[in-house]
Structure 1
């Protein structure tokens, strides 16, 4: 359970909101929260809650209020009572105000001991717990007003500490936007101005830092008539002298953070050295020879002036390289802007490396990368070694290179590195040198290398880059044509530059014209070419550098139509074992042709392909694959989805029950992989929902009609439990069309049965009937007894809900005989439960209970928690009908617990509904209201009208019990209308009868 008092007052139990039923309950809860688990005397509580307005028996009023709050929480032990008073029983993780205090304290301790990264993280987590004042709307209670003010003061201190930790970590560029906003919010806070000045100065924006001082000084003079304080003046003076300014929180472990502009003792010593020597360059402090200024190579390409959206990454690279010796690896896919960022950072650091800047394009992504031998030869000549003096062997060249750089401050930029082996001989050994590497791979085997991954631009930065390159002034954030163009370019900087350059070269082109040209996938890579710039060329280099198996997998991955995919699909596409497929996939990840997308619900890594990379994969498949290869790979992929979905259903239901399978070809992963994936079958189905839907469509389009309808039916296990009715409808319709085209009568019947079942779940009983009639006719024509039995079972349900109980009973008994004949124990248990329900509706609980107990035993033997929950729900209904609310409540609680454990959201709605009805029967009106409200919210969200209608009926009865007869009549009228809309005459009659009774009571004087 979670208690929130910062920004808003609320309670939640998991994903379910627990509504407080009165303002007094909210006040009492907040008073207990602000005492932080300590006992609050009863007298203090009554004074705070009622003050001078206390009733004659304040102690009794408090007891009643505590009792009601306990019922709201659903756990009496949450509020402890002893002789002294009351306290809230909770952990710090459950109460946001308590967690805020704990995180703040842990963050400060980390800051004191110099653990800046941990401090920044903890303090940021504390600040993220809520926005706005604590205990909002309750500040008329002094205790809560004081507690809210304390938290607000604490937030300001935590914010200051977090900013100082971030700046001490060298994140000056990243922090600038936040510091600008902070100072704008309160221009009189000198510490905010000091932090912003420090960040701007450390980011190389000294003039802007000085401007911040002048503006702050003017505001202080105008508003308060005072000059800036000594710390801010000292910082200003240091900036004017060009001194290196330490970050505001650069304190020694256990010490206090230094004031902005204050130079620690060690810094003063370094300052003295700078005064005595070259400006900005410390004198040597050991026996090394000074730098030789004669040969200071400057091999950097010119920087790109319109680089956009990379402030954070640029700041991270600059911060890393400013502390040599260091190796920094900038990684990312082709076209993401690695080289541009590396060159920008290198130019920003030129003054920090007076020994020179070396640069080489290693061409590692292509088929003929530059060898270390060649790169070292170029470096040695740039460092002044005459051609004849350059050694022949690579080891000797590396030794001379390291010797020349041993006493220099040199920045080495190795662009487009292939792997660690290529760059290892090119790494200098001098303490003053830094190395910046760009690579599609992360090069994690380089010891102590700092990795900076470079991703796609966000939407706003992508539009800004388009504006900068194209010169189109109308491009701005929120401009629909520009955002559409950025999306078609996949927010890839190279593609954006090309699109912007094409618009700049063709001022007569409208943006929609270029958008329409890019919209056609088969032409998009052709359109993303301008002069020497080409997205396709960059991708082709990466492809050409792959081994044969990864190349094949790359082409096959172009078949996938989902945003991301699990690693197991690689084995199906390659028709190989798991290990070689994983190795091939990881090769694509290292080449940045495939990205890592996170971990799914069962712990499996998921991957993704950029849209433009996927288009290139399709191009390569069309050019390089033999005829039929793509079709065969697609068949294996769909077959793998079918095999795994079939096994997931089998594990969920205890066997091949309540489902029909066809002869479509399966592709089965090795048993160990299948067991790992399906350890949580429901979790696997949830994680693969988009893949299952896409596989049905692709199988149908490829003429694999038997795979399509079988997979569509197997996926109902997921669609039914999670309420994905749109996916259910789409896959059934797609597979039905494919079966009809192929003349597959059994497939047509299976999909008509599935469509009818979907209509039952949507409570559209009249719409379901023709589907079942067609399905029964189809199954009968092909002699499928199992299909006939399942169809009869669901047809009987329509008869029952429409009040034709004898007809329903006859259909159920006919289906029961067939199900026993084919051995479908799961469906048999379901029919037993349905027959029992008819007996319940007739008022014959003695006939119903044995049938329910038998069905319950079968489901438990099968290990089917969802079936078990469904029978328990019926048992709960029987107990309600017999006036046994305690037994009913226990049954419905087990329904709720089971449904939540297996992720059955519809079952969860039924459990909440049953608990509400049981509490209503038992007289627990507050508890009933809470459960019924939760059931209504969940049912509406899932599109489950029957539960919503029954909850409305129960809420009407609840209002009647509370004496609110007019409100009761209105709610019962709404329930009657809903039952009528669904087509449930028996339930409609109950609601109408209850409404009339409520109206009669409301009309009494």
Structure 2
């Protein structure tokens, strides 16, 4: 998002002197070079100016002009929210890593992400555009160590603390460029017939591009109005505000009441991003009326279209220089209760869109189809691909919605529903692994709400999910702490599901840490809970986990006993595939225990059950194990036969498999956020 309101004509105007100085500053010898040392970090250029001065547009033009010297491209990040809130360094670093297509572990700390960013930029020639920086510490943390990179920072003032940086401070445009910017919106005729009035209007706007574009839009919407009339109105305005604020007041006052109210409420749009559904929910109007209003606002410079590869999901952004002004107008004209209601309507619409987005993937579910049919046509997606595209396009706004809902504090029930639906939609379309970093942030927000509202069940669910993500990224000790806290919360909530999951997860963490005695102890506690509730399938799985812990500890007798119990449990529950896998593991332990003949018999039995379960990969693996066992027993002919059978099975499966069959989704064990609402 930029600070300048821009029109559809992308030609850059003026700032010749500033561009020349900035380009010269790239070549300027720094203090390190003068002292005989090579510059240890990237060159930093600073463009300083008030919001609306065109500072971001100048930075973008500079990046465009020097792009040829930086073949690894340019990445950008905004360092303040539209309302002025400072963006955490870890979130900014992750956004830059995503733009560089470099993965980072979910839930990684700030230091780890910053180091990953610097490693990713090492050896590259790239440009970083750090837009709307809040302070020097924020910029300094993101600077690459590579002297071949360039960092262009945009800020409201100097960044004291970063050495060897000379700010390029922006004032207004020169008179010629300011008048030309006006003529783009009004047309050249009105400017030509009264050039002095145009110059007077540019002077009233102090050459600020944002004010000039708004003034031009006001004139374009009134073909019969003279340029001199607008200049006189601004001259008569005794308000001491900035030129942008004065012109916006005039534009706002001239709008019809419904449009003016919609414009004010756009300040509630998450991340300053708005689409037709957001505007419709905020204003309480139809989707078609909202779309027309947004198009009208964009035509006069009040909104900026967001470039996208998905034009069917067009979005607009509220320019940064207008966001706080619109928020002030909203507080002046709307009662607090009305603003709260508008925000609740927007979040409720988002929840319903997310429900539709997830339901379209559940093609085999009659309940999902019934829910879709009951939704208004405007909320439905034609097919899963369209839903995934919408989710991808709206991702920044959806994540911002979750953060805003939690920060509000008065909409916690709605916030929980929003985050539950967002988690489910992301898992359904992207998978847990691909969406891990976003899911980590969402579960952290759920934990904030649960702690604030003293909701032990939601706290347990959030801690379990965070622990799972920590465990997948190698932070097993952190995961163990979360699992223990989840166990306490599950017990307080009297939630047997969360308690059992937590016990098993504590055991899994100890197993990963190599503490096999504690692992078997915790698995045993979880097993006792499952047996007490006659949950046979879960009990069989836990027998297997206990057996695995004993195997790692070298206690093969105990491992064999528990694997046999697992096999019996799966047989009683009728899970043929799981029974085959358990028999396979039993055969492996028998081999470890020095019982090759028993292992051979068990392996044959497992292969037969795998055939019944139509698990080709397991069959092939078992045939390979049979081949190894026969070789160990001195029968190379049988070994070759089984090895050939395994290779043939794998080749046939590779030919028959579809492209998507190899992707395993890991979200099956996610502990969902529980809610009393039936809609969840």
Tell me the TM-score normalised to structure 2 length: 0.46
Larger RCO, structure (CA 8 Å, separation 6 or more): 2
Tell me the TM-score normalised to structure 1 length: 0.32
